[in-house]
């Protein structure tokens, strides 16, 4: 189905409880069954492992939580976020892969998923979005920029501001928390990414469940779960953004070397 609409909500049918194997490199729990045969939900399991903060939303509180989550599995973090924030939690996905979508929808199939359609994505990315949307029956919102962005094409000074950061601010209005799939292994700028923090820019809680994962962890999870792979990945696009400002990289280059080539830009501003 086409994805050129500005915003939409799709009906979601529950796809069952969280079952099966976990990513061996990051999981801290398997499905646990008590003597009566009851399988605890992820949120119930994580409640016994991690302190559930209920009082206050200060940055120091989330710094404390980040330390607790440092050795927790991504599933634990997701379960905590879903249990804590419910329908006021959004997953913001660039669809370079669908690892976080797979993790989160196993806990909450109805999670709000946001995709920022900048108007400059590769055709392969849009096709991949459709495939993942269909496979997971996502509750997906495709968010497009306002008309003001027309004067600032991809690669220009205000492009990312008008095509990414401003649309995301609007899409998150009314929410209290958002999740992203960034990792410390992505770049030097992301090397200290906390698992949970207070996003001062947006006045929201930000959760990065796979912040501690390596690129190998991602690849192993994709293989174990047999996830669909972005078609450009096998063509050397190891970090995928907008088509005018993304190129493939060699095995000797950093994965993000292909983003904004020829400039000193390394981030779009979403993860400040």
Nearest CA among 78, 54, 64, 41 for reference residue 211: 78
pTM of the entire structure? 0.76
CATH class of residue range 42-258 = alpha beta
Q: Report phi then psi at 151, rounded to 5.
A: -80, -5
Beta strands of 137-219 (E only): which ranges? 139-143, 177-179, 196-199, 204-207
Catalytic residue among 154, 160, 242, 268: 268
Q: 160 an active-site residue?
A: no
In angstroms, the Cα distances linking 265 to 120, 157, 246, 252, 256 are 18, 10, 12, 20, 11
Nearest CA among 58, 60, 80, 59 for reference residue 69: 80
Strand partners, 39: 33
Task: Output the tens digit of pLDDT for each of the chain's 272 residues.
Answer: 333 323 333 333 333 332 333 333 333 333 333 333 323 444 444 443 444 444 355 678 888 888 899 999 999 999 999 999 999 999 999 999 999 999 999 999 999 999 999 999 999 999 999 999 999 999 999 999 999 999 998 888 888 899 998 999 999 999 999 999 999 988 778 789 999 999 888 899 999 999 999 999 999 999 999 999 999 999 989 888 888 888 888 887 777 776 766 676 556 556 67
Joined together, the tokens standing for residue 125 give 């990315």
Joined together, the tokens standing for residue 115 give 């995709």
Nearest CA among 201, 101, 62 for reference residue 70: 62
The ranges assigned to domains in the chain are 42-258
């Amino acid at each position: 189905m086409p994805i050129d609409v500005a915003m939409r909500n799709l009906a979601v049918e529950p796809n069952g409880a969280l079952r099966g194997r976990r990513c061996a490199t990051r999981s801290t729990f398997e499905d646990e069954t008590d003597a009566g045969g009851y399988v605890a939900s992820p949120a119930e399991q994580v409640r016994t492992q991690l302190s559930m903060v209920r009082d206050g939303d200060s940055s120091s509180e989330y710094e404390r939580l980040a330390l607790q989550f440092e050795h927790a599995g991504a599933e634990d973090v997701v379960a905590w976020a879903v249990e804590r924030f419910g329908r006021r939690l959004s997953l913001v996905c660039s669809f370079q892969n669908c690892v976080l979508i797979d993790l989160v929808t196993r806990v909450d199939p109805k999670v709000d998923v946001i995709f920022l359609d900048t108007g400059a994505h590769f055709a392969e990315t849009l096709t991949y979005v459709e495939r993942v949307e269909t496979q997971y029956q996502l509750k997906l919102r495709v968010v497009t920029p306002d008309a003001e962005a027309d004067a600032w094409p991809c690669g220009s000074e205000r492009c990312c501001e008008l095509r990414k950061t401003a649309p995301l601010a609007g899409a998150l209005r009314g929410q209290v928390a958002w999740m992203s799939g960034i990792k410390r292994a992505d770049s030097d700028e992301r090397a200290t990414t906390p698992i949970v923090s207070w996003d001062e820019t947006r006045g929201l809680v930000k959760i990065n469940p796979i912040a501690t994962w390596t690129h190998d962890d991602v690849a192993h999870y994709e293989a174990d779960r047999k996830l669909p792979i972005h078609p450009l990945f096998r063509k050397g696009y190891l970090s995928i953004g907008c088509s005018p400002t993304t190129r493939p990289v060699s095995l000797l280059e950093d994965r993000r070397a292909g983003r904004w080539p020829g400039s000193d830009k390394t981030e779009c501003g979403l993860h400040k």
